Structure 1
Amino acid sequence: MARLPFVTREDLPEELRYVWDRNAVGREVPNIFRTMANNPEVWRAYLRLGNGLWNHCGLDVGTRELVILRTAILHHSQYEWHQHVRIGRQAGLSDAKIVALHHWKTSDLFSEVERAILEYVDAVNASGHPGQEVHDRLAALVAPGTLVGVNLLTGFYGMTARFLSAMEVELEEPFVGWQLNG
Structure 2
Amino acid sequence: MTSPYPPLSDEDWPQELADMLAGFAGGLNVYRTMAHHPALLRAWADLREHVVNQTTLGLEFSEVVILRTGWQLGSSYEWHQHIVRGRKNGLSDVRIARLSGPIIDIKGDDAVLATAVDDLFNERQLSQDSQTALVALVGKSGMFDLIATVGFYSTLGYILNSFGTPLDQDIAGELAANPLRP
**Structure 1 length-normalised TM:** 0.83
1:165 partner amino acid: N
Q: Give ranges in structure 2 of 5+ residues lacking alignment.
A: none
Q: 2:125 aligns with which of 129, 137, 146?
A: 129
CA distance in 2, matches of 1:62, 1:140: 17
Matched with 2:71 is 73
Q: Which AA in structure 2 matches 1:17?
A: A
CA 1:133–1:171: 2 relative to 1, 3 Å: same
How many Å apart are 1:52 and its aligned residue? 1.0
RMSD: 2.4
In structure 1, the gaps of 5 or more residues are none
Contact 2:135-2:143 within 8 A present in 1 as well: yes
Aligned to 2:151: 155
8 Å Cα contact 2:7/2:165 also seen in 1: no
Corresponding residue SS for 2:8: coil
Superposed displacement of residue 153, structure 1: 0.4
Q: Is the 8 A contact 1:53 1:152 kept in 2?
A: yes
Question: What whole-Å deviation, never above 9, does each CA across 1:30-75 have from its counterpart, x for those lacking one?
Answer: 3212211111221122232122112232112111101000001111
How many residue pairs get aligned? The number is: 175
Query: Which residue of structure 2 lines up, in the alignment, with residue 4 of structure 1?
Result: 5
Q: State the match for 1:20 in structure 2.
A: 21
User: Structure 1 or 2: larger helix share?
Assistant: 2
Q: Quick one: distance in 1 between partners of 2:44 and 2:68? A: 21
- Aligned counterpart for 1:100 among listed residues 98, 101, 113: 98
Q: Which residue of 2 aligns with 1:50?
A: 48
The Cα of 1:85 is off from its aligned counterpart by 0.7
Residue deviations 1:133-162, cap 9 Å, x none? Answer: 222232233311111000110111111111
Q: Which amino acid aligns with 1:37?
A: A
What is the DSSP-based 3-state SS (H/G/I as helix, E as strand, rest coil) of the residue aligned with 2:21?
Answer: helix
Contact 2:6–2:163, Cα closer than 8 Å, also in 1: no
